Amino acid sequence: MNKKGLAILMRTRMRPNNDLTKLSLSPLPNRMQSNPQESSGRVMEHSSDDAIRRLDCSGNAERDFDIVRGWMHSAISMKEMEGLDAVLNDFSKGYFSLSLDNRRELLRLLAKEYDFNRTQVRVLMKQYLGLELPSGDNAQSAGQQDDTPLSAFYHLERNLRHALKPTYEVLFERLNTHPGGLGFLSILRADILSILEEENTASLRALDTYLKEKLSMWLSPAVLELHQITWDDPASLLEKIVAYEAVHPISNLIDLKRRLGVGRRCFGYLHPAIPGEPLIFIEVALLKNVAQTVQEVLWDDPPIPESEATCALFYSISSTKPGLSGINLGKFLIKRVITLVKRDMPFISTFATLSPIPGFMQWLLSKLASQLNLDEVEVATRTPGDESVSTFWENILEPEEERLLIESSQDFVTGKNGMEILFKLLTLSNHEWISSTKLLSALKRPLMRLCARYLVEEKKRGKALDSVANFHLQNGAIIERLNWMADRSVKGLLQSGGIMVNYVYRMEKIEEYAHSYFSTGQIHSSPDILRYVETKKLQDESTE
């Protein structure tokens, strides 16, 4: 084994089931805990040793909290810039030394006590509402030549803009210009998001919204570097790829090297303030045709010569920083990669994905459970001779689907109807149903049809309910094809019953599709998808 491979093995835990999709309040991953300087982008390089030693030796959680709170206050309130770097270092390292409860308390305090002054805002608003706008000829001349009559408005508007800025903006701005501060801010936001999962308070929501807006501005595509990640990159960068691959975990060094070798590409966005660590990365397979199963991409079949490829398949996109959740760096990354691949390989004509459908099984099982519960209530409360059916009742299986399912499932489960049988089959602990050819045949039609319905019809706030579908649709993709038993892994079966989906990016339609989805929620689908979703409305909406 060469030195690079050994370094990656020594520094990275190969985690076949790593799941970085769920945010949790730090403690950070083990490698970060052991070296907090590294985890926050070397925020603490110039930290005051004496100040930090007071925390290390204290053993008093309340006293430690007060010390770190004092550093935070100083970082916000200091007027002189001399000594600011040392204070920011102390605050950053001190934050990592706090217990989880104290970090929560510090962020609550930051959200409430360093918000803007609402009393001052109310005073200014009253003054503003008390002003009278120029009228008639005076208004016309004021708008075109002399703005003196409006000077009081301009003055108050400037004061209002200033008053509406929360005090914690100072901390964010100063950290952003501080070495390693941008990485530290992303960790702060990850902790804020974790707290919001448990206590959705208005002040913390406002803090999160403000920090998200700042991060979105500071991480604009104009300042991000698109980097092709290869085996020649430093081991410290490659270990990030292994650790943060969230879609198809990297099992060993051979797997990693193959994903960076012939017929494969890996691109990441890097920021100069967080050197050597991609904020987000995408993996690409160069293929003759759009892949229908994950095995075609990940297994050990030798890749085709790149000159024979006609399809660039995006099979995994992963973020390395939970604190950047909701900041759509992936949209810009995909468009940049398409442009770059098309420039370097003009023979590539198709840009597609092989994507998971993470919310399908959860939606389907919830749908089945609610219908079964409704059926039980109906039976229990129905009076003799009453054959009416609740308006909420829906048999989501077609008659022929239900008949085949009942006939094929007798050796596995029993039930009073097809929906109960389907629910029991899909919740078998060992997924025994995938071992039966007969059952697979009976399940294919209903699961594919319901999956198409889930992707195309089920929405939240006017947009696709499935998170991955929403991501690609808002980027301008079209739902092209469903693939039966494309991912037989435990994760694939739990998420989507083994089904995967191809989204296609048609270069001449990307902006049009993205705009129509954003403005009206229109989901563009191929005729193959619409054949599963048999409604006239969807056929009329299709552009195909």
DSSP character at residue 25? P
What does the pLDDT read at residue 538? 42
Question: Cβ atoms within 10 A of the Cβ of 91, count?
Answer: 28
Is position 431 annotated as part of the catalytic site? Answer: no
What does the pLDDT read at residue 24? 35
Is position 355 annotated as part of the catalytic site? Answer: yes
What does the pLDDT read at residue 21? 36
What does the pLDDT read at residue 395? 85
What does the pLDDT read at residue 301? 76
The two structure tokens encoding residue 331:
């949209």
Give the active site residue among 47, 194, 355, 525: 355
Q: Which residues contact 156 (CB under 8 A, 6 or more apart)?
A: 124, 127, 128, 131
- Cβ-in-10-Å burial (0-12, 13-18, 19+) of 196 comes to middle
Contacts 24+ apart (CB under 8 A), 514-522: 514/473, 514/474, 514/475, 514/476, 517/463, 517/473, 517/474, 517/476, 518/474, 521/459, 521/462, 521/463
Contact criterion met (CB below 8 Å) for 320 and 464: no
Question: In whole angstroms, how far apart are CA 402 and each of 364, 375, 387, 397?
Answer: 16, 16, 21, 6
CATH class of the structural domain 222-355? alpha beta
237-254 as b/e, with b when 16 or more CB fall inside 10 Å? bbbbbbbbbebbbbeebe
Rounded Cα distance between 171 and 13, Å, is: 35
What does the pLDDT read at residue 459? 95
What does the pLDDT read at residue 539? 39
For 167, half-sphere exposure in the C-beta direction (CA atoms, 13 angstrom radius) is 17
Domain 222-355 shares a fold with domain 359-379+393-541: yes
| pTM of the predicted model over 0.85 | no
Q: Which amino acid is at 54?
A: R
What does the pLDDT read at residue 78? 95
What does the pLDDT read at residue 385? 53
CATH class of the structural domain 57-132+150-219? mainly alpha
What does the pLDDT read at residue 134? 80
What does the pLDDT read at residue 384? 55
Give the active site residue among 39, 472, 516, 542: 472
Fold classified for 359-379+393-541: Aminopeptidase (3.40.630)
- Facing residues of 317 across strands? 282
Q: Is the dihedral of CA 150, 152, 154, 160 positive or negative?
A: negative
The two structure tokens encoding residue 208:
């999160």
Question: Cβ atoms within 10 A of the Cβ of 361, count?
Answer: 22
Which residues of the chain have a pLDDT value below 70?
1-59, 136-147, 300, 375-393, 535-544
Show me where the domains of the chain are located.
57-132+150-219, 222-355, 359-379+393-541
Span 457-506, pLDDT tens digits:
999 999 999 999 999 999 999 999 999 999 999 999 999 999 999 999 99
What does the pLDDT read at residue 44? 36
